[in-house]
């Protein structure tokens, strides 16, 4: 599975990581939908760190399309509110 | 998949298929997409240049504000030493406003620095992908039948297209931020044009409009605190009587330690307050 962190780059992750990634993303969505900024940065950082630590960076010259595109690390709470909707990152 | 992920993927796929639909012949499609990619790379470079220009403008304002802070501080000390507390207070109020603006600019310059770094990284990635695409297109043209080539082009073009869309997003966010900063830079410039940071020794006897506004802008306790601190400092030394009073009596002798350029500035910026 190829995951892109927007503004950062692509990572190759094991397909088995998809479920954990989806859980973490749901966590971010829940915080955003809750309407309170508390915990937003932490939840986002956990999601992105998971991709960074469990993935291997793709070489710059690899021409692979991503299966998942994650928001940029510096996305603001307001921006996230506009971008996320209630559905999870990865389709069932 | 309707979150950010879904939206971005949809946008990328739409862009890529639009690109591929333009030409019938796969070989032509390849050359066309490559040409488009190179054009896009140029746009990215222009975008980075814009961010650098915005940053330079803020940095120039920063250094000019820093000079004002030093100048106004010196003038406050001079005025206080000469027993003109009113004038010292006016200088400190101006210094206070300049410092507040300076802090805001600091944050923004750091933010732009960050944006610039990210865009430069993205640009390098995009360039590497475009180069890989160029190599790959020659291979595809030489080795595959038209039908097969179509599939492989689509894969390769999506890889580049996604990076392109990502740079596009980063660029858009940088532009939005730069716009916000432009508003701040303009506000600082307006304050400068209004003479907010000008030489206080040029003030007449009466309080002018700027001073009234400044009193509202700058937080009074901070000014009072600093004034008290300066008084204490000056009270400790015996040098005070040697410093001549600026203003009607003539501000010809800057105290020891004052920037020599201040004297020149004092003469030039008259009549604005």
Task: Give CB contacts under 8 A, 24+ apart, made by B17-24.
Answer: B17/B154, B19/B157, B19/B161, B20/B150, B20/B153, B20/B154, B20/B157
What tens digit of pLDDT does each residue of B201-255 get? 665 555 566 566 666 655 667 788 888 888 888 876 544 444 444 444 444 444 4
Answer for the pair B246, B201: CB distance below 8 angstroms, yes or no: yes
Helix (H, G, I), strand (E, B) or coil at B219: coil
Q: C-alpha A44: how far from its chain's center?
A: 7
Question: Do the chains contact at A72 and B169, CB–CB below 8 Å?
Answer: yes
Question: Burial letters for B145-155: b for 16+ Cβ neighbours within 10 Å, e otherwise?
Answer: eeeebeebbbe
Contacts of B129 in chain A (CB under 8 A): 60-63
Q: What is the pLDDT of residues B113-145, one digit of tens each?
A: 988 898 899 899 999 999 999 998 888 888 888
Rounded to whole angstroms, the Cα distance separating B6 from A89 reads: 8
Q: Do B5 and A74 touch (CB under 8 A)?
A: no
* Distances from the Cα of A75 to the Cα of A29, A42, A44, A85, B90, angstroms: 13, 12, 9, 15, 42
What percentage of chain A has pLDDT greater than the value 90?
A: 32
Q: Residue A66 and residue A58: Cα distance in Å, rounded? A: 11
Closest CA–CA distance from residue B233 to any residue of chain A (Å): 45
- pLDDT tens digits, B44-71: 898 889 889 888 988 999 999 999 999 9
CB contact under 8 A, B133 and A62: no
Q: Are B112 and B55 in contact (CB under 8 A)?
A: yes
Name the least confident of A40-49, A63-72, B126-135, B176-185. B176-185
The runs of H, that is alpha helices, within chain B are: 4-21, 26-81, 85-143, 146-193, 209-217, 220-236, 260-268
Q: Could you tell me if B152 and B144 are in contact, meaning their C-beta atoms sit under 8 angstroms apart?
A: yes
B245: tokens are 């009073």
> Tokens 């780059």 map to which residue?
A9
**Residue B254 has what DSSP assignment?**
P
Whether B170 contacts chain A with CB within 8 A: yes
Say if the Cβ atoms of B8 and A74 lie within 8 Å.
no
State residue B256's pLDDT score. Answer: 46
B172 band by pLDDT with thresholds 50, 70 and 90: confident
Any A CB within 8 A of B7 CB: yes
pLDDT at B198 over 80: no
pLDDT score for B244: 46
Q: What is the DSSP string of B40-57?
A: HHHHHHHHHHHHHHHHHH
Looking at beta carbons, which residues of chain A come within 8 Å of B122?
7
Cα dist. A70→A51, A89, B12 in Å? Answer: 9, 8, 14
- Mean pLDDT (chain B) is 75
Q: Does residue B150 have a pLDDT over 50?
A: yes
Which has the minimum average pLDDT: A18-27, B12-21, B82-91, B117-126?
Answer: B12-21
Size of interface A-B (CB pairs under 8 A): 78
Is B118 exposed, middle or buried (CB count within 10 Å of its CB: 0-12, 13-18, 19+)? buried
Looking at this predicted complex, what is its ipTM? 0.80
Pairing status of strand A68-70 against strand A56-57: unpaired
For residues B218 and B212, what is the distance between their CA atoms, to the nearest angstrom? 10
How many angstroms away from the CA of A9 is the closest CA of chain B?
8
Q: Which residue has the higher pLDDT, B86 or A55?
A: A55
**Residue B195 contacts residue B273 (beta carbons within 8 Å):** yes
Give the pLDDT band (50/70/90) at residue B5. low
Q: What is the mean pLDDT of residues A49-53?
A: 95
Is the CB of residue B183 less than 8 Å away from at least one CB of chain A? no
Return the DSSP state at A8: T
Q: In the structure encoding, which two tokens stand for residue B108, read together? A: 């923004």
Question: Considering only CA atoms, which of B1, B99, B209 is closest in space to residue A67?
Answer: B1
CA distance B145 to B143: 7
Least confident of B95-104, B144-153, B181-190, B199-208: B199-208
pLDDT at A48: 94
The stretch B70-98 carries a mean pLDDT of 88
By residue count, chain B amounts to 273
Q: Residue B240: what pLDDT?
A: 44
Q: Which long-range contacts (CB under 8 A, 24 or more apart) does B220-229 make?
A: B222/B96, B223/B89, B223/B92, B223/B93, B223/B96, B226/B76, B226/B92, B226/B95, B226/B96, B227/B76, B227/B80, B227/B85, B227/B88, B227/B89, B227/B92
């Amino acid at each position: 599975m190829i995951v892109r962190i927007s503004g950062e780059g692509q990572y190759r992750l094991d397909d088995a990581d998809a479920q954990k990634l989806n859980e973490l993303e749901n966590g971010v969505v829940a915080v955003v939908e809750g309407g309170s900024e508390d915990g937003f940065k932490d939840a986002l950082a956990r999601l992105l760190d998971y991709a960074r630590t469990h993935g291997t960076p793709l070489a710059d010259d690899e021409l692979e399309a991503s299966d998942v595109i994650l928001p940029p690390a510096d996305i603001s709470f307001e921006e996230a509110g506009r971008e996320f909707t209630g559905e999870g990152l990865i389709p069932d | 998949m309707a979150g950010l992920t879904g939206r971005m993927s949809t946008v990328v796929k739409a862009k890529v298929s639009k690109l591929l639909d333009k030409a019938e012949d796969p070989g032509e499609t390849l050359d066309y997409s490559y040409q488009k990619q190179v054009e896009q790379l140029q746009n990215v470079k222009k975008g980075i240049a814009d961010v650098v220009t915005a940053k330079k403008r803020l940095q120039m304002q920063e250094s000019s504000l820093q000079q004002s802070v030093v100048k106004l501080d010196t003038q406050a000390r001079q005025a206080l030493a000469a027993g003109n507390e009113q004038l010292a207070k006016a200088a400190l109020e101006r210094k206070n406003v300049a410092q507040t603006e300076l802090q805001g600019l600091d944050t923004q310059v750091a933010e732009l620095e960050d944006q610039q770094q990210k865009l430069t990284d993205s640009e390098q990635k995009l360039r590497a992908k475009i180069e890989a695409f160029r190599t790959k297109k020659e291979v595809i043209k030489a080795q595959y039948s038209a039908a097969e080539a179509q599939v492989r082009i689509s894969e390769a073009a999506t890889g580049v297209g996604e990076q392109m869309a990502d740079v596009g997003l980063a660029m858009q966010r940088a532009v939005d931020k730069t716009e916000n900063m432009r508003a701040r830079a303009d506000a600082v410039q307006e304050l400068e044009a209004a003479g907010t940071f000008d030489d206080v020794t040029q003030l007449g006897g009466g309080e002018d409009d700027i001073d009234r506004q400044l009193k509202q802008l700058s937080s009074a306790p901070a000014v009072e605190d600093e004034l008290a601190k300066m008084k204490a400092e000056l009270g400790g030394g015996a040098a005070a009587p040697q410093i001549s009073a600026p203003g009607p009596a003539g501000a010809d002798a800057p105290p020891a330690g004052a920037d020599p350029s201040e004297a020149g500035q004092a003469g030039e910026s008259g009549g604005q307050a």
